[in-house]
Amino acid sequence: MTIGGHHNKLEELFNKSDVKLGDSVIVETNNATHIGILIPRYEYADDNHLVLKLKNGYNIGINLGKIKSIKKMIEKSDATNKSNIDYNYRDNFSYENMDQNLSQSQLPNLSLLSTGGTISSKIDYRTGGVMAALTAKELNDSIPELMKIANIDPEVILTEYSENIKPEHWSLIAKKIANNILSGKYEGIIVSHGTDTMHYTSAALSFALQNLPIPVVLVGAQRSSDRPSSDASLNLIGACTFATKSKFSGVFVAMHYSISDDVIACHIGTRVRKNHTSRRDAFHSIDVYPFSLIKKDQIKIPNQYTDLIFQERNKNFEDMIVRPNFENKVSLLKFYPGFDCRMFDYCIKLGHKAIILEGTGLGHINKECFSQIKNAIDNGILIFMTSQCIWGRIALTVYDTGRDLLNLGVIPLSNTTSETALVKAMWCLGNFNEEKDVIKTMTTNIANEFTNRIPVE
């Protein structure tokens, strides 16, 4: 007989100590004291270890033979310490008031939609690699802290690593989110997603779902959920905290703010980018501050977001706009020394409808390509310019190269990131038939893809 993945030996110890899965406990061993939360063991764990989630987010296995005692902790409110938290992020954030100590029946409802990725994966001990395995329910059950935040309805809609996500998947996710919102059951939507293309999906949802009545928060992990160093737990806790307690709606990405396991940053869906291959703080807001910082049950909101488009959460579902279609025939071309200008001819051959050019600096490309650019535009391809620089905005009026590109018909996109520009072009072409409407929409701020100058770190 097993309960919650623990076998008879541990069940006997749990019963003797009057503890159960999800309890905060103090575990005394022969040479150490551990404080954490009892969580289910994974199916490949042996029968002689219990799994404890420490306060820093790490999971450890403790050998049964070394356990002297397990005592249930009586948690005390740390509300008196709220004002002492130091986020070390200048002084540009102010606190929102949080509801605390809600009973289970009073907790808000969240929808957790799993699409795959590292956050929904675990180690495959046959190969030593990571494989997709955890369902949304398993992910939810493995983090007992979530039970104190919300009543969560988990559902798997995809099981894909993020490199396999396509525009048609964005449409599927957007439609599912819209249906769940219209059900009126939820205070927020969580989407677990692989990190490599999560910023593409967050941009896609930002355009496909406008005037959202509740927040939609994408969350991922740099390390799989069953690794001792996994960031999945804290990221998901932060995402759920924001989704239930922030007064704002929109599309956001919740990931580690630093390499430490204490603060989660919640980024604007169109202003975020993955900038590191493996660090926990791989995601950064570009040209803006993170929308909020989350530590435990507290949320800090920046004071300077007066020029950006946000609305407070509401129950007026009728104002929500759902335009979930995307056009695949869009290219993102990065210019580099030695760039083959025939790439523009190839885009014509493929029947592409738009090209996002990632130019140098302020938005430049070798003049040798000008004839191919003109030919592509003459063949009905819309060409938009972004910069390969991560921060800053393009300006095609500073140098003669930029002015020549403007005369050819290249359309500048200010400080829109290249990834967001690509997604927006796919969305515009998927939802608007007239070229003039596509150009007007591409150059209009829809979901904070354009921003004013804001000092950043």
CA-CA-CA-CA dihedral for 173, 176, 177, 181, to nearest 10: 170
CA 384, distance to chain mean position in Å, is 26
For 310, the 3-state DSSP assignment is coil
What are the two backbone dihedrals, phi and then psi, of residue 98, each rounded to the nearest 5 degrees?
-115, 140
On the question of pLDDT at 426 being above 80, the answer is yes
Confidence of residue 432 (pLDDT cuts 50, 70, 90): very high
> What is the spatial distance between Cα 389 and Cα 360, in angstroms, rounded to a whole number?
7
Q: Which of 115, 118, 401, 451 is catalytic?
A: 118
In a domain, 454, yes or no: no
85 pLDDT higher than 60:
no
Contact 298, 275 (CB under 8 A): no
- Catalytic residue (choose from 196, 226, 231, 287): 196
E-strand ranges in 171-242 read 188-192, 209-210, 215-219
> Would strands 264-268 and 283-285 be described as parallel, antiparallel, or unpaired?
unpaired
> 11: which 2 tokens?
């069940």
Claim to verify: residue 146 and residue 282 sit in the same structural domain: yes
User: Is the distance from CB of 158 to CB of 172 less than 8 angstroms?
Assistant: yes
- Contact in structure between 186 and 180 (CB atoms under 8 Å): yes
Strand partners, 122: 131
Please confirm, yes or no, whether 378 is among the known catalytic residues: no
End position of a domain, from candidates 306, 322, 338: 322
Cβ(66)–Cβ(52) below 8 Å: no
pTM of the model: 0.77
Residue 41 phi, psi dihedral angles, 5° rounding: -80, 155
Same domain, 281 and 197: yes
* C-alpha to C-alpha distance for 238 and 336, rounded to whole angstroms: 39
- Tokens 């060409």, residue? 383
Q: Which residues form the domain of 412?
A: 330-442
Is 344 in a helix, a strand, or coil?
Answer: helix
Question: Does the annotation mark 68 as catalytic?
Answer: no
CA 308, CA 267: separation in Å to the nearest integer?
A: 13
The count of other CB atoms within 10 Å of the CB of residue 229 is: 12
Q: Are residues 121 and 211 in the same domain?
A: yes
Calpha distance 270→284 (Å, rounded): 11
CATH number for the domain harbouring residue 365: 3.40.50.40
Q: Name the active-site residue from 53, 274, 300, 424.
A: 274
pLDDT of residue 216 exceeding 80: yes
Distance (Å, rounded) from C-alpha 15 to C-alpha 408? 77
Same domain, 122 and 221: yes
The pLDDT of residue 427: 98
- pLDDT category of residue 136 using cuts at 50, 70 and 90: low
Are 58 and 146 members of one domain? no
For the chain, how many structural domains are there in total? 3
**In the beta sheet, which residues pair with residue 43?**
none
Distance CA 341, CA 348 (A): 12
Is pLDDT at 80 greater than 80 in this prediction?
A: no
Backbone torsion region of residue 78, taken as left when φ is above 0, otherwise alpha when ψ lies between -120 and 50, otherwise beta: alpha
Structure tokens at 231: 């960031």
Residues 174 and 257 in one domain: yes
Active site residue 417: no
Does 319 qualify as catalytic in the annotation?
Answer: no
151: which strand partners?
A: 109
Task: Identify the CA nearest to 307 among candidates 92, 451, 93.
Answer: 451
Indicate whether 451 belongs to any domain.
no
Whether residue 164 lies inside any domain: the answer is: yes
The most distant pair of C-alpha atoms in the chain lies apart, rounded to whole Å, by 81
Residue 87: pLDDT band (50, 70, 90) is very low
Tokens representing 252?
């956001």
Residue 453 maps to a domain: no
Query: Which tokens hold the place of 195?
Result: 């990190």
447, part of any domain: no
Reply yes or no on whether the pLDDT at 268 is more than 90. Answer: yes
One domain for residues 293 and 342:
no
| Candidates 122, 141, 195, 416; catalytic one | 195
The predicted structure's pLDDT at residue 243:
95
pLDDT tier for residue 161 given thresholds of 50, 70 and 90 = confident
In this structure, are 199 and 125 located in the same domain? yes
For residue 93, is pLDDT > 70?
no
Reading the block at residue 412, the tokens are: 């500048």
**What's the CATH code of the domain at 44?**
2.30.30.520
| Shared-domain flag, residues 226 and 173 | yes
> Among the three residues 302, 322, 342, which one is the final residue of a domain in this structure?
322
Averaged pLDDT, 357-368: 97
Same domain, 137 and 64: no
